[in-house]
Structure 1
Amino acid sequence: MSLIMDSRRAQQVGRLLLDAFRGDGIFGRTFMPAHLLPRGVDRGSRAHLHFVTLTTAINYMRDADALWEASRRTYEAPQTHYLYTPRQVAQTDTDKLIADMKRYRLARKPNKDADIWQTICITLTRHFNGDVYNLLERANFDAPLVLATIRDRRYQFPYLKGPKTGSLWIRVLEDRWQGHHLENLDRVPIPVDVHIAAATVMTGCVRGPFDGPFSKLRDAVTEVWFSACQGSSLYALLFNDPLWHLSRQGCRKTRGFPCEYRNQCPVARHCTETRLVKDGSRASIAA
């Protein structure tokens, strides 16, 4: 069972979604959970950079809205504000760190999340003078080189270095932080999670039948969005936000077909009414 990748269809779907997202939104959604800043933080600042970097690192297996809301509350509270200063976190007792990350529900898995958070802060302190900006600068603000840096075995950036989370971080930096433009964004793959995959399948950009590892489907989704951008000024990361909303508010939410959201959907005419079924590490698509 081979997957069919339709890059021409992806071009059409992608442009419609981008136009909608930049206009009235996808089902009314025009921004992502990471787009809202804590009070007192200026866009493009070091504080903003550390806020999005550390929060993105624990953005796994949890509701994104709840995570970013918890992170904003944690940042704004005087008792926990220090959590976004890598040098201070690197020197903090583990029990205190866990307790403070639990205070406003920043940590969903307290021990694991605290370990991720502190490990990254220790790496930043030891190798980059406690500043994410220094990491970006050392990589010449080149997006693929930034990813290569955090994946270098000399450094420890758990979860942030992952294939999905790393790309997501680059997307947030370019789109929301905007403290410095990143180069070669066209070489960074779209961060494929179940929502990006589901929207890509539902719109027919990748088609089955298929029953196999989700990793194989993820590779196909990555390839089709790369291909959709060839010969244009667009790059695959641009499609992340609208695809995510399309699935989260529509494709994965609908109770049946015809889809109850079709009258609000900007790509309804491309809908194949084909669900992606994901079970652990496996995925299936009907014919």
Structure 2
Amino acid sequence: MSKRYWINSLCVEVNEKQVDTVSRHIYLNKKDFLSLTCGPEHILPQGAKWGGLEHALYLTYTCLIDYNLKSVADDLWSASRKLFEKHLEELYPQNLVKNSPEHFANIFKNYFKNIYRAPASPEKMAFRIYKTAKYLLENVDGDPRKILDLYLNSAKKRDAQDFLNWLKNQKYKGLPNGDKVIKLWFRTMCESKELELGNGMWNLQRHELAKIPMPIDKNIISAGIALGLVNVTEGRFEGSFSKLYEPFNYVWTLVAEKSQTLPLELDEPIWKTGRNCRRKKCQPSCFFKQICPKITNFMFKGEKNMPSKEWDILVWPIQ
């Protein structure tokens, strides 16, 4: 019998047959699938070298910024690249903290004034980066690449999941936070130059990263519904998509296992797929077009008026 979950009055069931279909498709076409990993975060500012200090700061600072729902991730990373290209010297932690937070905010807001998410502001986002620069100076000589060593020296053990949990506990000290963002930062800091997990700036090996679950957000859930991996058997749901974490985490972990792919490797390709599923915009080039049942009986209420307080409210199935 297929695995079922009850969330309030909603009952959903994992479609084991479709899980096998999707997993096999990924496994047989893995090179094409993993080519979708490349995202805007992999386009470095001019002059920055892969694995260098500038690369690490670019990833760390950008992952601190809440971007507006009217914008897309491409806009965020593009703005960050322009900031780094024009003001690189001022972004090194030792230089950034020589001046006041207000001084940096005046520079920062010229690049991000249309990017931030209310009720935040460019000034608040700039202060986050300023706070992080101080943390980096005080703990790792201003170098995010040394954060893994900081953890190893304090924890006295080498465990990727424990390291991720440790990072989450540092959020009040200035590091990126939020499950989606911190796993994006974690993944990109662990990627090799070929965008494969392992041997990155944080030198964790591939097998050490095997148990790290992928982040579950609107796009990941949208892809899971559209592909028919999780189906409604009874009831209706209207609420925060975060309440559906368990069934979708289970199903994507299962897909990773069956396709012999790490869960974190699914993140970027499935996120890109789900972004179109969420908007009901099937693309001719979609990796899953041959096997997708194109289920569209769901919506996010905040999609109609962005940004909206209802941005995370999932309605499933639509009446």
TM-score range, shorter chain: 0.7 to 0.9
Which among 261, 271, 278 is matched to residue 252 of structure 1?
Answer: 278
Residue identity opposite 2:151 in structure 1: A
Equivalence map 1:85-164=2 (5 Å)? 85-105=92-112, 108=116, 109-140=121-152, 142-152=159-169, 156-157=173-174, 160-164=176-180
Which 5+ residue runs of structure 2 have no aligned equivalent? 1-9, 153-157, 194-199, 302-309
Residues 86, 125 of structure 1: 8 Å contact kept: yes
Mapped to 2, the partners of 1:85 and 1:189 lie a distance apart of 32
* Alignment correspondent of 1:195: 219
Over the matched positions of the two proteins, sequence identity in percent amounts to 24
The structure 1 residue matched to 2:81, chosen from 67, 72, 75, is 72
| TM-score, scaled relative to structure 1 | 0.82
Corresponding residue to 1:53 among 48, 55, 60: 60
Cα 1:71–1:215 change in 2 (3 A) is same
One-letter amino acid matched to 1:37: L
Compute the displacement of 1:275 (Å).
4.2
**Equivalent residue number for residue 296 of structure 2:** 274
Alpha-carbon spacing, 1:30–1:153, altered in 2? closer, same or farther (3 Å): closer
1:285 aligns with 2:302: no
CA contact (8 A) 1:203 1:271 kept: yes
Q: Distance in 2 between matches of 1:267 and 1:243?
A: 10
Aligned residues: 276
Q: State the Cα distance separating 1:199 from its structure 2 match.
A: 1.1
1:34 alignment partner in structure 2: 41
Deviation of 1:92 (Å)? 2.8
User: Per-residue CA shift, 1:134-182, capped at 9, x if unaligned?
Assistant: 2112334753233222233696135x12211111111222236633432
Q: What is the CA RMSD across the aligned residues, in angstroms?
A: 3.0
Distance in structure 2 (CA, Å) of the matches to 1:154 and 1:54: 13
1:271 Cα offset (Å): 2.4
Unpaired segments of 5 or more residues in structure 1?
none
TM-score, normalising length from structure 2?
0.75
Distance 2:72 2:169 in 1: 29
Tell me the distance in 2 between the aligned counterparts of 1:83 and 1:18: 45
Q: 1:57 to 1:6 in 2, by over 3 A?
A: farther
The residue type paired with residue 219 of structure 1 is: E
Distance of 2:231 and 2:184 partners within structure 1: 24
Indicate if the aligned counterparts of 1:11 and 1:229 stay in contact, CA closer than 8 A. no
Name the stretch that deviates more: 126-135 or 171-180: 171-180
- Counterpart of 1:207, as a letter, is N
Deviation digits for residues 240-286 of structure 1 (CA, Å, limit 9, x no counterpart): 111122123x313436xxx5x3x433323232422432232431222
Partner of 1:2: helix, strand, or coil? strand
* Equivalent position SS for 1:245: helix
Q: Hey, what's the Cα distance between the residues in 2 that align with 1:176 and 1:56?
A: 19
Shift, 1:38, TM fit:
0.9
Corresponding residue of 2:4 = none
Distance in structure 2 (CA, Å) of the matches to 1:213 and 1:51: 31
Residues 9/121 of structure 1: CA separation in 2 closer, same or farther (3 Å cut): farther
Deviation at 1:11, TM superposition (A): 5.1
- Counterpart pick for 1:16 among 18, 21, 25: 25
What are the superposed Cα offsets for residues 98-146 of structure 1, whole Å, 9 maximum, x if unpaired? 1111222376331221122122222222222222122112334753233
Is 1:223–2:250 an aligned residue pair? yes
User: Contact 2:13–2:231 at 8 Å: present in 1 too?
Assistant: yes
2:7 alignment partner in structure 1: none
**TM-fit CA distance, 1:195:** 1.5
